[in-house]
A and B are shown apart, each in its own frame.
Chain A
Amino acid sequence: MKVIIFLILFTGYIAYSIVVYTRGTDSTIIYENKEKEQINKGKLLFQQYNCTSCHQLYGLGGYLGPELTTAISDVQRGELYVRAFLKNGGNRMPNFHFTNEEVDALVSFLKSVDTTAITYKRH
């Protein structure tokens, strides 16, 4: 009996995982190849410099720095503001001495995150 309950739950888990991977998180946004490359590069930089230790995207990450999901479209912040921080660091944020290309890539990545943030903007 216990073994059967376990197996039923486990099958449910596998099925649910597959559905979440494919249906629940489908995207309608399509990028050109060049853009895609740029976003991907930005994402890898984001990981390489462990921005997630201080910043959250969709609530995931550390809390010393501000949430970045809507940094680009936020009226109080915006692209230029974001670029300024990436170039110089801040009070707590270190200066990573990014090149202009790296800043461009990070900004493309943050922009792509921002365009998906419909739930944030509704509130």
Chain B
Amino acid sequence: MSNFRKYSFLHSDNRAAKIFLLLALSYLLTGLLFGILGGLQYIFPAFLKDSLSFQKTRPLHVYLVITWIFTAAQAGIYYYLPKIAKRSIYWQNGIWLHFALQAINSLIIIAGFFSGSFGGREYLEFPPVLGGLILLSWVPFVINFFATLKPNFKTAPVYIWMWSTGILFFFITVSESYLWLFDFFRNNIVRDITVQWKALGSMVGSWNMLVYGTGIYLMEQLSGNEKASRSRLSFFFYFLGLTNLMFNWGHHTYIVPAAPWVKTVAYVISMTELLLYGYIILQWKKTVSDARKNYHILTYRLLSIADIWIFLNLTLAIAISIPALNLYTHGTHITVAHAMGTTIGINTMLLMASVTYILKKESAFAFKLNRKWLSRGIYITNVSLLIFWSSLLASGIVKIFGKINNETFFYIMQKSQPFFKLFAYSGICVFIGLGILIAITFKIALRKKQFDAIISQQHVTAGPAQIINLKE
């Protein structure tokens, strides 16, 4: 490990947290690559059809990008924990154990997908044992989280509630998604599918808790106001989000012939969660002073961009939760637009806000030198994402009309081709935008130590006024 000492970003107490961050970014980068291959398979039917067909590219993409989301959230939590608890991480080697277990598991899963070994369940398309291993790799994280924080839930800020909830429900929902291993579930397709939708819907809620909690923590840090994260409004929002996590999954099951009340329960509490989160960000933006906003300008901008995506996706989500519409949108690319619009536009932007915040904290000067490129990366990502998202919506609409007119699948696919092209090519641009952010982060992280030492000598005496000057 002495090798790390060469690199200033990695040479500090929270080295393990930062290595986790780089691991998370590696998941994102590779996940994006497989997403692009999958996109190309939409427009070139024969592309890699026999060697690496969509049967493999899709699970590789989905597994890796989902893993990016929770690993980046965990990396942030590892980094923020000592600052919140004001003591060092309880079990430092636990982080390394977590890292090792997760990295090994990922390699097995990826190798398995390449060789065609599947569990064949949506999202968790790897063999069930490996799902168990994912949970096992989380154990050191859980121990560190609770033993470092020793949270007192009566007084804890809302983000600690959110992180704890996210962890608890990740364990519950991953376990629930394996209930099909029992005959009672497996032999009844309606039960199996309903439970699977239930588990996956809440699982998405569980990592949203981890990510949104991180967003709120960052807002607290940027505004310097600790009251907001303990306010009634924040907790009202948290409980609403929790209610959604627990009961809202049913909007996925309108077409499953389960009992009708499953659907009614879902509809009543649909999607109010995003509305409030959007509202909280809006409120928060009013409270941030200009000096702080400018000092953390990229982090601030990313949080604001996430807010725009919240409103775009919220409009879509409310529309597709209406049962009469859901009947048509289900099984079209509108669902994919919803899935990727939220995981890229909201989750990835919030997590990138966390990445830029950590970079700035750790290597302010190098960060400043690379700010232009980071800005460009953010810009390219979001402009292309808007096209990407719209093209998915458009191909969804083509399919809806196709279904109404009883057209064949083949004909609908043909009519959607222009939009699939737009989807695949704008996807490549999303990759370029995020690729810039990833590359710059690695560049800053792996910079040699001597360079930083000279720089920090110049700034060691800088007071707040000078620090704010760094903003340009």
| A contact residues vs B (CB 8 Å cutoff) | 2-3, 5-6, 9, 12-13, 16-17, 20-21, 23-27, 36, 39-40, 43, 46-54, 56-67, 76, 91-92, 94, 112-113, 116-120, 123
Question: Out of B56, B120, B256, which one reaches A119, CB within 8 Å?
Answer: B256
Chain B contact-residue range equals 35 or more
Residues B118 and A67 in contact, CB atoms below 8 Å apart: no
B239 touching A16, Cβ below 8 Å: no
Residue of B nearest to A3 (CB): B153
The answer, among A36, A52, A65, A94, for a CB contact under 8 Å with B187, is: A36
B252 at the interface (CB under 8 A from A): yes
- List 14 A-B pairs, Cβ < 8 Å: A9-B242, A17-B176, A17-B198, A24-B259, A25-B258, A47-B120, A50-B56, A50-B120, A58-B255, A60-B196, A63-B333, A64-B54, A64-B58, A66-B409
For B153, list chain A residues within 8 Å (CB).
2-3, 6
Residues of B within 8 A of A (CB): 38, 41-42, 45, 49-50, 53-56, 58-59, 118-122, 125, 153-154, 161, 176, 179, 185-191, 193-198, 235, 239, 242-243, 246-247, 252-253, 255-259, 261-262, 265, 327, 330-333, 335-336, 406, 408-410
CA distance A64 to B61 in the complex (A): 14
Task: Indicate which residue in B49, B118, B154, B262 contacts A48 across the interface (CB closer than 8 Å).
Answer: B118
- Docked-complex contact A118 and B257, CB < 8 angstroms: yes
Known contacts being A5-B239, A49-B55, is A27 close to B256, with CB within 8 Å? no
Q: Tally A-B pairs: CB < 8 A.
A: 143
**Are the CB atoms of A64 and B41 closer together than 8 Å?**
yes
Q: Shortest beta-carbon distance, A5 to chain B, in Å?
A: 6
Whether A94 contacts B55 by the Cβ 8 Å rule is yes
CB pair A49 B189 closer than 8 Å: no
Give A97 to B50 CA distance when docked, in angstroms: 12
Q: Which residues of the other chain, A, contact B161 by a CB distance below 8 angstroms?
A: 2
Closest to B38 in A: A64
Known: A17-B176, A53-B56. 6 other contacts (CB 8 A): A6-B242, A52-B120, A63-B332, A64-B54, A94-B49, A119-B257
Taking each of B55, B265, B330, which has the highest tally of chain A beta carbons within 10 Å of its own beta carbon?
A: B55
A95 to chain B, nearest CB (A): 9
Residues of B within 8 A of A9 (CB): 239, 242-243, 246
User: Which residues from B are CB-within-8-Å of A66?
Assistant: 409
B59 & A21 in contact (Cβ 8 Å cutoff): no
> In the complex the two chains form, what is the Cα distance from A39 to B187 in whole Å?
9
A20 touches B195 (CB 8 A): yes
Given contacts A47-B120, A116-B257, contact A12 B188 (CB under 8 A): no
CB distance from B398 to the nearest CB of A (A): 12
Q: How far is the CA of A12 from the CA of B243 in the complex (A)?
A: 10
- Are A52 and B194 within 8 A (Cβ)? no
The answer for the CA separation of A36 and B247 in the assembled complex, in Å, is: 32
Q: Which of the residues A36, A49, A92, A118 comes within 8 Å of B120, measured between beta carbons?
A: A49
A67 to B256, CA, bound (A): 13
Count chain B CB atoms within 10 A of each CB in A25, A76, A118 and give the residue with the most. Answer: A25
A54 touches B118 (CB 8 A): no
